[in-house]
């Protein structure tokens, strides 16, 4: 017998033995499960009272859980258990691909009953019973068992991820799918709790009622993850300032993270007594206790709009996953103790003690559930799966260029613009620097889009480290422009939740070097949500990041030029404007793409060019540009992934972006004086790259010099060379880049960064 089959057998035998043994239960003498019991109704020896008990009465004195509800939840618990068994059975036939189960955690069904079906939930992967219980609450009830089975089989018909992963989620059930990255959904949950009432307060249609609370569940080992620690801190930090934070974090504590023991008492010690975070505890194997405690916790969160931590003591049955030999790291007595605490036995005991079911009827119910689930599972054989890359990738990056173009051209009414700009419209002001152009564009966008929020470190009162967000707080108020806690994971989490709640978040990351500690919130969370929900859920956002080098001070942390971590995130749009006019148009494009397609955009602003005024000579004003009035936004629209060519020289094409554009245009001017005619292609978008523009401009001269301020290894120039190779470019290509180094402090920075003389020298040798 395979190990999986043996374990399955052990659980089955345990259940079959335990239930009939309940007939001997008295509060004083726990049941004896030494003898195998019968598996049919004949096993029921404790007769039910003549006068059947009232299902509307409490299942146990003092509990709010009625017998009827307990029965419903028991059915969810039973089906969840059988889905775990079915998962292993399907796996053994190579028809299922996922065996992390919920056995031992089925008490979470009571969470669903304690919440409203309209409360959004982001669930731990052991929350199958919750999902089934919530599916049963829907009108008409959803076929939760079918959903989960399709997920196990990676079937294309699975309703949320469409065969891309086995997740728990459905838009009709307000269950937002989570990834398997431990705790990574908590920053989003905090952001959603922060935003859930805000959309309504801003007068916008909101996906969830204003008094909804957000449920996020995690395991006990997960509570230690820095992502969880940061999210809990941010939730408490908001509550401490009396900001609404209706968040219920549930810890399903089975005492183990795969094989690693959580020190006994640790979760309670770590989560209780924290300022701003109310702690509740329940025995997760006792359905009535979970229900009563969850009701109290949910009520507290809803009434106070303040976060709570609900700690459920649970057991884990059947190992971490199907292939996990837990006997290798757990003593038999420990495993047996978990089996003895089986929450299904606990609920059976509740129902039997209440006279609602006899032990035999419990077994019948168990067997009927097994038959239903296995029958469904057997019918799944051959359910079509995704087969082509196109099918798999369909939800990754929806793009509707026409909607984006029209969205980008939309402005607020003149009256609202005047109010926002303080009567002096930017188009009648002087030519703008990059920082001024971004500031005016943000102002215009906030005036036109009531759901847009601007937030980050120092963006509000100070107006940004470089003044880019100056005046926005005064014009739009703290409800829409605000400073955040100093935690990039939380800033992005806020964006993830706000986008989900129907708002348009524009978070700022103060420096590119400080994105990296939080990048998984973009990679693992933002970019995967449409993928694993087939677009049912989306998290539009435009993340502004001040970045790149050449600041002349600050060393690495203020001069980071690493964009590789962003370029390979599927679906992510990476904008890299250099000139003020491009920045304005590209920011409008990003905002419109976020709105129209739910796009996740990163808008990488070159700090060194923020206040640059001149290009070729002091006082020439070559880097300042007039601000376009709204009636020119349509004609000036910059589509995603389109570059811009400066000049029409025929000797050499310089491909560049960011600070490289400024350096290259200066170099081109010097080269022209020596008779070398250059055209300079500004990529403008680093993802997706303007491949067509690159190939066209390369073919125009036959010689390409890539001037790339990012690193030689992993930098943008590698991708441009790949575009040239893929496109069959037959001319010559060379590149000048920054070194594979961090940027040092002071003048030494110049030693490792791309420079104008380096561009000129390479250009001369290529043009020769």
Ligand X SMILES: Cc1ncc(C[n+]2csc(CCOP(=O)(O)OP(=O)(O)O)c2C)c(N)n1
Active site residues: 558
Binding partner at 258 among Mg ion, ligand X, none, C-beta below 5 to 8 Å by kind: ligand X
Binding partner at 301 among Mg ion, ligand X, none, C-beta below 5 to 8 Å by kind: none
Nearer to ligand X, 258 or 748 (CB): 258
Closest CA to 661 of 686, 689, 683, 685: 683
CB 221 → Mg ion: shortest distance, Å?
5
Nearer to ligand X, 267 or 668 (CB): 267
Nearer to ligand X, 318 or 530 (CB): 318
Binding partner at 180 among Mg ion, ligand X, none, C-beta below 5 to 8 Å by kind: ligand X
430 burial type by CB count under 10 A (0-12 exposed, 13-18 middle, 19+ buried): exposed
The piece of 220-228, 333-341, 378-386, 391-399 that touches ligand X (CB under 6 A) is 220-228
The piece of 219-227, 237-245, 664-672, 706-714 that touches ligand X (CB under 6 A) is 219-227
Asked if 220 touches ligand X (CB under 6 A), the answer is: yes
Judge contact between 533 and 157, C-beta under 8 A: no
Asked if 258 touches ligand X (CB under 6 A), the answer is: yes
List phi, psi (to 5°) of 656: -155, -175
Binding partner at 523 among ligand X, Mg ion, none, C-beta below 5 to 8 Å by kind: none
> Per CB under 6 A, which of residues 689..748 are in contact with ligand X?
none
Nearer to ligand X, 517 or 741 (CB): 517
Q: Whose CB is nearest to ligand X? A: 219
Binding mask 127-166 for ligand X (x = CB under 6 A): ----------------------------------------
Among residues 219, 360, 426, 571, which is the contact residue for ligand X, using CB under 6 A?
219
Running DSSP on this structure, what letter comes out for residue 632? Answer: G
Nearer to ligand X, 132 or 762 (CB): 132
Determine the Cα–Cα distance for residues 314 and 293; give it in Å rounded to an integer.
14
> Per CB under 6 A, which of residues 101..130 are in contact with ligand X?
126
Torsion angle of C-alpha atoms 99, 104, 106, 110, degrees rounded to 10: -150
Nearer to ligand X, 183 or 676 (CB): 183
Binding partner at 567 among ligand X, Mg ion, none, C-beta below 5 to 8 Å by kind: none
Determine the Cα–Cα distance for residues 610 and 601; give it in Å rounded to an integer.
20
- Within a 13 Å sphere around the CA of 115, how many CA atoms are in the beta-carbon half? 33
Asked if 499 touches ligand X (CB under 6 A), the answer is: no
**Angle formed by the axes of helices 359-379 and 144-152, to 10°?**
50
Asked if 257 touches ligand X (CB under 6 A), the answer is: yes
Residues 6+ apart with CB under 8 A from 379: none
Binding mask 199-218 for ligand X (x = CB under 6 A): -------------------x
Q: How many residues touch ligand X (CB under 6 A)?
A: 16
Q: Please tell me whether residue 371 adopts helix, strand or coil conformation.
A: helix
Residues 6+ apart with CB under 8 A from 660: 578, 707, 708, 709, 754, 759
Binding partner at 213 among ligand X, Mg ion, none, C-beta below 5 to 8 Å by kind: none
CB 257 → Mg ion: shortest distance, Å?
5
Nearer to ligand X, 338 or 595 (CB): 338
Nearer to ligand X, 258 or 617 (CB): 258
CB 260 → Mg ion: shortest distance, Å?
9
Asked if 222 touches ligand X (CB under 6 A), the answer is: yes
Judge contact between 88 and 70, C-beta under 8 A: no
**String of b and e for 682-719 (b: at least 16 CB within 10 Å)?**
bbbbbbbbbbebbbebbbbbebbbbbbbbbbebbbbbb
Asked if 219 touches Mg ion (CB under 5 A), the answer is: yes
Binding mask 278-307 for Mg ion (x = CB under 5 A): ------------------------------
Determine the Cα–Cα distance for residues 507 and 191; give it in Å rounded to an integer.
12
**Rg of the chain taking only CA atoms, in angstroms:** 30
Nearer to Mg ion, 329 or 729 (CB): 329
> Per CB under 5 A, which of residues 255..274 are in contact with Mg ion?
256
Nearer to ligand X, 180 or 241 (CB): 180
Closest CA to 192 of 233, 248, 240: 248
Among residues 59, 71, 182, 199, which is the contact residue for ligand X, using CB under 6 A?
182
Laid out side by side, the sheet with 732-738 consists of 644-646, 678-682, 652-656, 703-711, 732-738
CB 255 → ligand X: shortest distance, Å?
8
Q: Please tell me whether residue 261 adopts helix, strand or coil conformation.
A: strand
Q: Please tell me whether residue 218 adopts helix, strand or coil conformation.
A: strand
CB 183 → ligand X: shortest distance, Å?
7
Among residues 2, 40, 118, 180, which is the contact residue for ligand X, using CB under 6 A?
180
DSSP string, 560-581: ----HHHHTSTT-EEE---SHH
The piece of 182-190, 220-228, 658-666, 760-768 that touches Mg ion (CB under 5 A) is 220-228
Determine the Cα–Cα distance for residues 555 and 513; give it in Å rounded to an integer.
11
Determine the Cα–Cα distance for residues 259 and 329; give it in Å rounded to an integer.
6
Determine the Cα–Cα distance for residues 193 and 210; give it in Å rounded to an integer.
10
CB 218 → Mg ion: shortest distance, Å?
9
Binding partner at 182 among Mg ion, ligand X, none, C-beta below 5 to 8 Å by kind: ligand X
Determine the Cα–Cα distance for residues 266 and 661; give it in Å rounded to an integer.
55
Nearer to ligand X, 126 or 281 (CB): 126
Determine the Cα–Cα distance for residues 97 and 710; give it in Å rounded to an integer.
41
CB 286 → ligand X: shortest distance, Å?
18
Determine the Cα–Cα distance for residues 647 and 169; give it in Å rounded to an integer.
52
Determine the Cα–Cα distance for residues 253 and 255; give it in Å rounded to an integer.
5
Asked if 254 touches ligand X (CB under 6 A), the answer is: yes
Q: Whose CB is nearest to Mg ion? A: 219
Closest CA to 533 of 159, 12, 174: 159
Nearer to ligand X, 256 or 716 (CB): 256
Among residues 220, 342, 560, 697, which is the contact residue for Mg ion, using CB under 5 A?
220
Determine the Cα–Cα distance for residues 503 and 201; give it in Å rounded to an integer.
11
The piece of 149-157, 251-259, 484-492, 596-604 that touches Mg ion (CB under 5 A) is 251-259
Closest CA to 397 of 594, 174, 151: 594
Among residues 256, 345, 687, 724, which is the contact residue for ligand X, using CB under 6 A?
256
Binding mask 319-358 for ligand X (x = CB under 6 A): -x--------------------------------------
> Per CB under 6 A, which of residues 297..316 are in contact with ligand X?
316
Closest CA to 511 of 457, 473, 470, 552: 457
Asked if 254 touches Mg ion (CB under 5 A), the answer is: yes
Name the E strands within 631-751: 644-646, 652-656, 678-682, 685-687, 703-711, 732-738
Asked if 326 touches Mg ion (CB under 5 A), the answer is: no
Q: How far is CA 768 from CA 612, 649, 724, in A?
A: 33, 15, 21
Nearer to ligand X, 155 or 492 (CB): 492
DSSP string, 495-548: HHHHHHTT-EEEEEES-GGGTGGGTHIIIIIITHHHHHHTTSS---EEEEEEE-
Binding partner at 596 among Mg ion, ligand X, none, C-beta below 5 to 8 Å by kind: none
End-to-end CA distance of the chain: 75
Binding partner at 147 among ligand X, Mg ion, none, C-beta below 5 to 8 Å by kind: none
Binding partner at 595 among ligand X, Mg ion, none, C-beta below 5 to 8 Å by kind: none
Interacting residue ranges for ligand X, rule: CB under 6 A: 126, 180-182, 218-222, 252, 254, 256-258, 316, 320
Interacting residue ranges for Mg ion, rule: CB under 5 A: 219-220, 254, 256
């Amino acid at each position: 017998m395979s190990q999986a089959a043996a374990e399955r057998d052990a659980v089955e035998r345990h259940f079959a033995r335990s239930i009939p043994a309940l007939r001997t239960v008295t509060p004083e003498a726990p049941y004896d499960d030494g003898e195998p019991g019968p598996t049919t109704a004949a096993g029921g020896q404790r007769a039910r009272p003549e006068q059947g008990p009232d299902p509307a009465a409490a299942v146990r004195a003092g509990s709010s859980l009625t017998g009827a509800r307990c029965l419903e939840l028991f059915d969810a618990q039973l089906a969840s258990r059988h889905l775990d068994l079915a998962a292993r059975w399907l796996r053994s036939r190579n028809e299922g691909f996922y065996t992390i189960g919920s056995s031992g955690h089925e008490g979470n069904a009571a969470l669903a009953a304690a919440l409203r079906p309209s409360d959004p939930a982001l669930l731990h992967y052991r929350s199958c019973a919750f999902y089934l219980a919530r599916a049963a609450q829907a009108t008409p009830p959803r076929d939760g068992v079918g959903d989960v089975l399709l997920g196990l089989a990676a079937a294309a018909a699975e309703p949320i991820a469409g065969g891309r992963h086995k997740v728990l989620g459905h838009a009709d059930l307000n269950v937002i799918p989570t990834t398997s990255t431990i705790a990574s959904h908590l920053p989003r949950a905090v952001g959603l709790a922060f935003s859930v009432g805000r959309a309504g307060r801003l007068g916008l249609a909101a996906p969830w009622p204003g008094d909804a609370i957000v449920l996020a569940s995690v395991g006990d080992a997960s509570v230690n993850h820095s992502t969880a620690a940061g999210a809990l801190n941010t939730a408490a930090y908001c509550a401490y300032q009396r900001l609404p934070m209706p968040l219920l974090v549930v810890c399903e504590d089975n005492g183990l993270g795969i094989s690693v023991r959580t020190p006994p008492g640790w979760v309670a010690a770590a989560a209780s007594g924290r300022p701003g975070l109310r702690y509740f505890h329940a025995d997760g194997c006792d359905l009535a206790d979970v229900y009563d405690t969850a009701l109290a916790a949910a009520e507290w969160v809803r009434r106070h709009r303040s976060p709570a931590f609900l700690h459920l003591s649970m057991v884990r049955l059947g190992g971490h996953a199907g292939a996990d030999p837990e006997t290798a790291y757990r003593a038999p007595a420990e495993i047996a103790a978990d089996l003895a605490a089986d929450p299904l036995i606990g609920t059976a005991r509740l129902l039997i003690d209440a006279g609602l079911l006899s032990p035999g009827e419990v077994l019948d119910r168990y067997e009927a559930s097994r038959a239903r689930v296995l029958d469904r599972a057997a019918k799944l054989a051959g359910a079509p799966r995704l087969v082509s890359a196109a099918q798999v990738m369909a939800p990754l990056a929806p793009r509707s260029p026409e909607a984006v173009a029209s969205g980008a051209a939309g402005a607020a009414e003149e009256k609202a613009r005047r109010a926002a700009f303080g009567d002096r419209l930017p188009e009648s002001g002087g030519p703008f620097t990059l920082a001024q152009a971004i500031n005016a564009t943000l102002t215009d966008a906030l005036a036109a889009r009531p759901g847009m929020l601007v937030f980050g470190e120092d963006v509000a009162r100070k107006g940004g480290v470089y003044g880019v967000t100056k005046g926005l707080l005064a014009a739009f108020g703290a409800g829409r422009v605000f400073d955040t806690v100093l935690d990039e994971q939380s800033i992005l989490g806020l964006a993830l939740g706000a986008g989900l709640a129907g708002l348009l978040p524009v978070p700022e990351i103060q420096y590119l070097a400080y994105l990296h500690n939080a990048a998984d919130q973009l990679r693992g969370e933002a970019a995967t949500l449409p993928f694993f929900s087939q677009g049912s859920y989306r998290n539009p956002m435009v993340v502004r990041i001040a970045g790149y080098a050449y600041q002349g001070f600050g060393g690495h942390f203020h001069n980071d030029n690493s964009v590789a971590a962003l370029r390979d995130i599927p679906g992510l749009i990476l904008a890299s404007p250099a000139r003020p006019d491009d920045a304005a148009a590209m920011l409008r494009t990003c905002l419109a793409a976020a709105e129209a397609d739910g796009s996740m955009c990163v808008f990488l602003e070159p700090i060194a060019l923020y206040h640059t005024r001149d290009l070729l000579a002091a006082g020439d004003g070559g880097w300042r540009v007039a601000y376009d009035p709204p009636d020119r936004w349509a004609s000036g629209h910059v589509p995603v992934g389109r570059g811009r060519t400066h000049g029409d020289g025929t000797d050499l094409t310089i491909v560049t972006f960011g600070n490289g554009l400024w350096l290259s245009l200066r170099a081109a001017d010097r080269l022209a004086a020596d008779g070398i005619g250059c055209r300079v292609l500004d990529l403008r978008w680093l993802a997706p790259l303007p491949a067509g523009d690159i190939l066209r401009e390369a073919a125009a001269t036959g010689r390409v010099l890539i001037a790339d301020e990012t690193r030689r290894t992993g930098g943008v120039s590698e991708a441009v060379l790949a575009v040239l190779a893929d496109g069959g470019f037959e001319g010559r290509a060379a590149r000048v880049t920054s070194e594979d180094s961090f940027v040092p402090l002071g003048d030494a920075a110049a030693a490792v960064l791309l420079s104008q003389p380096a561009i000129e020298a390479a250009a001369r040798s290529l043009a020769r």
